[in-house]
């Protein structure tokens, strides 16, 4: 090798290292964390608000007014948290979400007892 080829190789290596150093770092995605927090907050609000908790009990039995109350809550929670989709299931009743939960989702469940039976209250948040 002569001096010219060594200088070219050195320059190419320097350029390569500079390109690596200046490449943008991948940005971390906090979407799963935000989705989990939105789901947790929605469950806590339902559990602490007596009218929503009664709506969850009623929706598990298929009561239309209870289902519409939880539907309104899900829409409000989705807008307030800014998540793509938030859906609620109470017992066997799936509350209409007005959106489609994607394959990227967080699912949180709470076991509730209405005095007669146990059932799951489930919140799915797509991100």
CA 62: distance to chain centroid?
26
Sign of the C-alpha dihedral, residues 39, 45, 46, 47?
Answer: positive
Check residues 42 and 2 and name the one with the higher pLDDT. 42
Confidence band of 16 (pLDDT split at 50, 70, 90): low
Task: Check residue 2 and give its pLDDT.
Answer: 54
Please write the tens of the pLDDT for every residue from 52-111: 999 999 999 899 999 999 999 999 999 998 888 999 999 888 887 778 777 889 999 999
Task: Check residue 84 and give its pLDDT.
Answer: 86
Structure-token match 């320097």, residue found: 14
Q: Phi-psi region for residue 112, left (φ > 0), alpha (ψ -120 to 50) or beta?
A: beta
pTM: 0.73
**Mean per-residue pLDDT over the chain, rounded:** 84
């Amino acid at each position: 090798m002569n001096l010219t080829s060594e200088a070219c190789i050195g320059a190419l290596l320097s350029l390569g290292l500079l390109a690596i150093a200046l490449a943008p770092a991948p940005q971390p995605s906090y979407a799963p964390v935000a989705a989990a927090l939105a789901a947790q907050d929605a469950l806590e609000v339902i559990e602490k608000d007596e009218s929503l908790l009664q709506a969850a009990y009623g929706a598990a039995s298929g009561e239309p007014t209870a289902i519409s109350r939880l539907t309104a809550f899900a829409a409000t929670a989705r807008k307030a948290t800014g998540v793509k989709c938030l859906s609620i299931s109470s017992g066997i009743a799936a509350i209409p979400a007005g959106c489609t939960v994607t394959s990227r989702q967080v699912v949180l469940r709470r076991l509730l007892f209405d005095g007669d039976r146990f059932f799951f209250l489930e919140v799915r948040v797509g991100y």
